[in-house]
Structure 1
Amino acid sequence: MDGQTSTDAPGFVRTRGMRFPRHDAIIQGKVRRLLRTNGYEAKESEAALRVVREGDVVVELGGGIGYMSTLVATKRAVKSVHVFEANPNLIPYIESVHAVNGVTNAHVTNAILGPRKGTADFYIREPMLGSSLEVLDGETDPPSVKVDVLDAKSTLQDIGANILICDIEGAEVDLIPQLDLTGLRAAIIETHPQWIGPEGINKVFRAFMDAGLAYYHRGSHGKVLAFRTSW
């Protein structure tokens, strides 16, 4: 439960029954504190545990530290989970988290999804989890890497995903309306109104409603929005 402190195993930070290897550049400060008190991604976790079912095929956009993919794989026995993470420095860590938690049905790809294949600039920052596709106000020539952009429509079709989990630091306003969402049973989106504004939030809502998914209040909390079909 949130607010309860987990006991760390040697070499790991433990949370909700999952283990996260200690890593000085990734598991630090606020991230470590929230993991230890089961507060990390608490709203997203509650939403996922409400909507994800055994046998689902999950696509996660923005893999972070591998938390959500590990959660749904270990708590809901999904058929598979497909993680797309833009930051190449996080890929080995995500894979290590899956390994130590016995997750064998996860697939991790260093790429983002978009309207067509290509490449994009991804800006690397410290702490690592603050990296994004956008240049922030006040930044001048931040360090960046090129990341592959995969065709979103064909990628989702090939995977056969019926669940979408998305936390991509404001890029949702451009990406979500471009996706074919009609094959989804449910979606969990962390929105970023501080960057995309009310018009951006409306665009995200409209995309899901046009695809036949309705706002699900029991899975939504603040900036975390859940959508689902009636079946």
Structure 2
Amino acid sequence: MSQQIVTGKNGSGNMTDYTEAANCLGVSVPESPFLNEMRIVRMNEGRYEGQEIAGAMKVVTSEDRVLEMGAGLGVVGGVIAKNCKPQEIRSFEANPALMPHINALYQANDLTGTISVQNTVLLAGPDQPASIPFFVRTSFLGSSLNRMEGKRNQEVMVPTLDFNAFCAGYMPTVLVIDIEGGELDILRHADLSGFRAIVIEFHPDHYGIPGMRECKRILGDAGFVKDDEVSSRTVWTCVKG
């Protein structure tokens, strides 16, 4: 594990030192309890969330405003911000335990002028609650809005915002979405007309093959065409045809 020290501005604007655990495509990843040896290796080799990052790197430009749903540890959004230099990235992450580590990554890489994160869930559709249960699991990568039998399900309540109302105000042009099964409900009710590109990971473990096919059908009906070069069965990068 690398022990390089990087310096960035903290949330108060003061300079702070961070211990780098990994470096993913030029983005310093500070030490955190959510890193393990395998994740560190994958980050250093540029393979962590590799397809999602490759797709975003292909479609995001300096003219774009990016909406990221599912920030994780902040690595994907950080790589997009540093390498693609879009106008702005607004990220949303449901797991409150990840927030200080996401912000530390943004601060260590001096990205806070481009990217920010909220501990909020975006919802689409009618009858939206003010907050919603989120189920934190042993691996942060498996945490989701869906309770899963046989899994550790630590329930936390997370505030919500309306997806379509947020987009009407922010006007994003690229959507990057990895929310462990929540994408099906978003796509069923979302206004996608303002987006020119979408990078999305499907999770058939949550809604089955028919649900994944429905996601893909919705994207096709909205005019999006898959880019085969940077897509697979479960991760699509698609652009308006």
Q: TM-score, normalised by structure 2?
A: 0.87
Could you give the per-residue CA deviations for residues 143-188 of structure 1, whole angstroms, max 9, x where no partner exists?
Answer: 2110112111101111110100000111112222211111100000
SS class of match (2:38): helix
5+ unaligned residues in a row in structure 1: which ranges? Answer: 1-5
| Mapped partners of 1:43, 1:62: distance in 2 | 15
Structure 2 counterpart of 1:36, which letter? N
Name the structure 2 match of 1:9: 4
Structure 2 counterpart of 1:72, which letter? I
Name the structure 2 match of 1:20: 29
| Mapped partners of 1:8, 1:180: distance in 2 | 45
| Mapped partners of 2:117, 2:143: distance in 1 | 18
Q: 1:134 aligns with which of 142, 146, 169?
A: 146
Determine if contact 1:26/1:129 at 8 Å carries over to the other structure.
no
Name the structure 2 match of 1:175: 186
Structure 2 counterpart of 1:39, which letter? R
Q: 1:125 aligns with which of 119, 137, 142?
A: 137
Q: How big is the shift at 1:127? A: 2.8
Q: 2:46 aligns with which of 31, 35, 38?
A: 38
Q: How big is the shift at 1:117? A: 5.0
Q: How big is the shift at 1:54? A: 1.3
Name the structure 1 match of 2:8: none
Structure 1 counterpart of 2:164, which letter? K
Could you give the per-residue CA deviations for residues 39-78 of structure 1, whole angstroms, max 9, x where no partner exists?
Answer: 1011111111111111200000000010111111111110
| Mapped partners of 2:44, 2:107: distance in 1 | 20
- Relative to structure 1, the CA distance from residue 21 to residue 152 in structure 2 (aligned partners, 3 Å threshold; closer, same or farther) is same
Q: How big is the shift at 1:34? A: 1.1
Deviates more, 1:179-188 or 1:128-137: 128-137
Deviates more, 1:26-35 or 1:46-55: 26-35
Query: In the TM superposition, what are the counterparts of 1:46-65 in structure 2 within 5 Å?
Result: 46-65=54-73
- Relative to structure 1, the CA distance from residue 117 to residue 154 in structure 2 (aligned partners, 3 Å threshold; closer, same or farther) is farther
Structure 2 counterpart of 1:136, which letter? M
Could you give the per-residue CA deviations for residues 167-221 of structure 1, whole angstroms, max 9, x where no partner exists?
Answer: 0111112222211111100000011123322211121112222222222222312
SS class of match (2:35): coil
Determine if contact 1:117/1:150 at 8 Å carries over to the other structure.
no
| Mapped partners of 1:164, 1:122: distance in 2 | 22
Name the structure 1 match of 2:164: 153
Q: 2:81 aligns with which of 57, 73, 77?
A: 73
Q: How big is the shift at 1:8? A: 6.1
Q: What is the root-mean-square deviation of aligned Cα atoms in Å?
A: 1.8
Q: How big is the shift at 1:16? A: 1.0
Is the aligned partner of 1:223 residue 2:231? no
Q: Following TM superposition, where does structure 1 have runs of at least 4 consecutive aligned residues deviating by more than 3 angstroms?
A: none
Name the structure 1 match of 2:93: 85
Name the structure 2 match of 1:109: 118
| Mapped partners of 1:37, 1:8: distance in 2 | 17
Counting matched residue pairs gives 223
| Mapped partners of 1:139, 1:77: distance in 2 | 39
- Relative to structure 1, the CA distance from residue 117 to residue 162 in structure 2 (aligned partners, 3 Å threshold; closer, same or farther) is farther
Name the structure 2 match of 1:3: none
Is the aligned partner of 1:196 residue 2:204? no
Determine if contact 1:8/1:36 at 8 Å carries over to the other structure.
no
5+ unaligned residues in a row in structure 2: which ranges? Answer: 6-18
- Identical amino acids, percent of aligned pairs: 28
| Mapped partners of 1:171, 1:39: distance in 2 | 24
